[in-house]
Chains A and B, each alone.
Chain A
Amino acid sequence: MSHQHAKLAKTFLAQSKKADWHDKTLWKVRKLRDKVSGEVDEFQELREMASQIKKHTLTHLDEYLLQFERKAQGNGIAVHWARDAREHNEIVHGLLKEKKITQVIKSKSMLTEECELNRYLKERNVNVLDSDLGELIVQLRRETPSHIVMPAIHLNKEQVGEVFLQEKLTEEYSNDPQYLTFRARTYLRDKFLNHEASLTGVNFAIAETGGIVVVTNEGNADLGVNLAKVNIHCMGIEKIIPSFKNLEFFIRLLARSATGQPISVYTSHYHKPRPEQARHIVILDNRRSDRLGEERFYEALKCIRCGACMNTCPVYRNSGGHSYTYPIPGPIGSILAPKMDLKKHRDLPFASSLCGSCTYVCPVKINLHQQLFDWREEIAKSDESFVKKKYLSYFLVKLFSRHFLTKFFFGLLKWLLRVTPKTFLKRNNWGKYREFPKIPQESFAEWYSKNGKNFERET
């Protein structure tokens, strides 16, 4: 059953020391999340509130989007709508072209990864510079982020040092995080002061006030927004929340879930542009509205991109973000991806042991593991089903519907395990890493048919 994720995971695990570090480090973040969320007695109530606000917003999304548009326009912000990634990129490009801008500085936005905006603009001679340190690192390495909050978590400091030297951010090799961060700071400050356009993602868009909230630790989004003449904020339709006051829940949850901080360093609320500034918001659909009609899947749109599901997911921790075929990895990515391209991502819902930890850490209570299960059903029904899984399941259903067939099957299995040479047993995916169970003298059913009656008489 060809699983792309499994293959890439194998490659990831081959570098065992690094893989262990990856697992350990992200687990540390999960523990930090436990510690800091544990300081808030009403944490579970906050999750429930956030979930319900999002659910409400999603079933009234047209009204809130319209309200947001009206209010934003009232604030002097231009609002643009994009049906898909292509249109999104065209809009952004158009806005830059109009002002003859060829350099744009961008803070973290998973949405622009989804749209492959950087590549699109590059092909049209517009250079996008990623300003989040992690994103800068992966951009310099011509890679994509492997985590939505910690984009370069798959790299060690030596690799960062190497690419900094190669790209001339440093003059001599260093692997000191403090120094490397300082060099990136110096390099980017110059760009912040010179670039005419800034691009950011959006954490929350407030319908009531027509403003947006952007959350960072590094301050890169704010430098961009406050220094550039043209601000472009890109958001998915699901980023809307009804009111300003609603932020009280989301801001309390976001950083605690994401990094285990009580709040991120900068939680910035942007409404009116400064007089000399132009502010644009691009609202992207890209099949999100289609998902709204699906009862089993629409709650994925509640996601606030905190990454907690990745940090807790043992499969993610042990396979790395690049083993997922979608820009957003981990459990949330695995339920978003199939909607975008079922054929390409059909193995992702199977890249989970369905342990359920993701659902339990999600600050907006997305039923992640349930959706992973439900996507498996969708895939099974579709033309992209896994042939082997299909026939195996059909076979097992037939088998387990009849007792004598079940008994015969297990008899055969035990016989096969007994007579097959050990080297042969080691070739399949179970035997590669594990011994098969020992074969007992008799089954319980056999024991029971001999002894059960005796015990029956005793009582």
Chain B
Amino acid sequence: MNENLAKTNSNKTSSNKLASELDSKPGFKVGLFLPCYVNHFYPELGVKSYLFLKKAGYRVFFPPQQTCCGQPMANAGYNRENKKIYEKFFNEFKDYDYIVSPSASCVYHLKKYFFLRDSQMKVKFLAKVHEITDFLINVHGLKKLAKDTLPQNITRIGVHQSCHSLRGLHQAKASEMVQQKPFSNLVFLLNMLNGVKILLPAREDQCCGFGGLFSVDEAEVSHKMGISRLEEHQRNRVDVICSGDVSCLMHLKGIIERKKLTIETKHIMELIA
């Protein structure tokens, strides 16, 4: 997470220009990458993402042999061992114009730790990899939604900005960067929905405590961090917590169900698609 990386700002004019160019040339080939656990445990997010991209005019494919981005092993200290996984990932996705994924975490991991023997090839390949909100806003130039209403029971939406989307992919202003102007991919997209109230927790971007293996290595601290997020969302009386990362939501939802709370969790694509 290099804070000097180019900031993805939803209002960048250059990307809007790129987007308008794209609009005139539809039919780009998009390879949809789903985190392994999303494929198996959250298929509806896959369906929503897939259909949304389709409707936006892309030729979308789900390379069936895809497996994993390699993050769990890297975070345990074994990124070097991921060579075969990265080669597989590359082979599955190399022929697409864009590789799009509804996970900031996996995309950030790839951007940062993916490697190939041919480093130039790596750079070219990674340039095609996009987190889905980044793709929709900055590449596609999404301005409004085809369907901009939500079921009646969802009006108050709590935003959970995942750390990897925030400090990894710079998809929102981090609270530490006091001088920066506020922006957020999630809020930008949620604002396209009619009649919703967008609510940030008091500690607007504190980590939920998932952290992959951290959630089991440090179960108590992880749980406490999750509780802290949920309490703030509860105080905001949110109907649903929305995030760009299902991993955070899986952890939060796990606690919600154990505690028998009534908050829903939704990935941003589940709300806007």
Contacts and interface: CB of A to CB of B under 8 A. Distances in A.
Contacts of A440: 40-44
Given A385-B77, A389-B213, A445-B62, A455 B176 contact: no
A357 B220 contact: no
Interface in A334-386: 347, 350-357, 359-361, 367, 369-370, 373, 376-381, 385-386
A276 to B, nearest CB: 48
B176 A353 contact: no
A355 B211 contact: yes
A389 to B, nearest CB: 5
Contact of B220 (A9, A38, A410, A428): A9
Given A44-B179, A397-B84, A353 B211 contact: yes
B95 interface: no
A27 interface: yes
Contact of A315 (B54, B84, B221): B221
B118 interface: no
A361 B221 contact: no
Interface string B88-121: 1000000000000000000000000000000000
B23 interface: no
B254 A357 contact: no
A453 to B, nearest CB: 11
Interface in B2-58: 2-3, 34, 36-47, 50-51, 54
Contacts of B44: 440
B263 interface: no
Given A44-B179, A447-B47, A449-B64, A393 B257 contact: no
B50 A448 contact: yes
Given A353-B207, A403-B66, A43 B179 contact: yes
Interface in A406-459: 406, 410, 413-414, 428-430, 432-440, 442-449, 452, 455-456, 459
Given A354-B163, A429-B216, A433-B255, A394 B221 contact: no
A186 B230 CA distance: 46
Given A400-B68, A414-B40, A318 B225 contact: yes
A354 B220 contact: no
B196 interface: no
Contact of B38 (A13, A438, A444): A444
Contact of B223 (A359, A380, A434, A447): A434
B2 to A, nearest CB: 8
B203 interface: yes
Contact of A429 (B42, B82, B209, B219): B219
Interface stretch (B135-143, B149-157, B167-175, B182-190): B167-175
B217 A350 contact: yes
Nearest to A410: B40
Interface in B243-267: 250-251, 253-255, 257-258
A265 to B, nearest CB: 24
A314 B175 CA distance: 14
Contacts of B61: 452
Interface residues of B, number: 81
Nearest to B57: A459
A186 B116 CA distance: 66
A124 interface: no
B54 A455 contact: yes
Contact of A394 (B78, B179, B217): B78
A225 to B, nearest CB: 35
Given A34-B176, A361-B176, A403 B254 contact: no
Q: Which of A35, A399, A435, A439 has the most CB of B within 10 A?
A: A435
B73 interface: yes
Contacts of A6: 217-221
A446 to B, nearest CB: 8
A125 B94 CA distance: 71
A377 B77 contact: yes
A414 B43 CA distance: 14
Contacts of A401: 67, 84-85, 88
A380 B76 contact: yes
A428 B216 contact: yes
B233 to A, nearest CB: 16
A420 to B, nearest CB: 16
Given A6-B221, A356-B168, A442 B43 contact: yes
B67 A400 contact: yes
B221 A13 contact: yes
B79 interface: yes
A155 interface: no
A9 B207 CA distance: 17
A84 to B, nearest CB: 28
B201 interface: no
B67 to A, nearest CB: 4
Contacts of B41: 414, 437-440
A3 interface: yes
Contacts of A294: none
Nearest to A397: B81
Contact of B257 (A385, A435, A443): A435
4 closest Cβ contacts across the A-B interface?
A434-B254, A353-B211, A380-B77, A444-B46
25 contacts: A6-B217, A6-B218, A13-B220, A34-B176, A314-B209, A319-B218, A350-B214, A350-B217, A355-B167, A355-B207, A356-B163, A356-B167, A369-B1, A376-B77, A377-B78, A397-B78, A397-B82, A401-B67, A406-B68, A410-B39, A430-B254, A437-B253, A444-B46, A449-B64, A452-B50
Given A434-B251, A445-B39, A455-B60, 16 more contacts: A38-B178, A43-B178, A357-B167, A357-B176, A359-B3, A390-B78, A396-B73, A397-B82, A399-B67, A433-B254, A434-B258, A435-B253, A436-B254, A437-B250, A437-B253, A459-B54
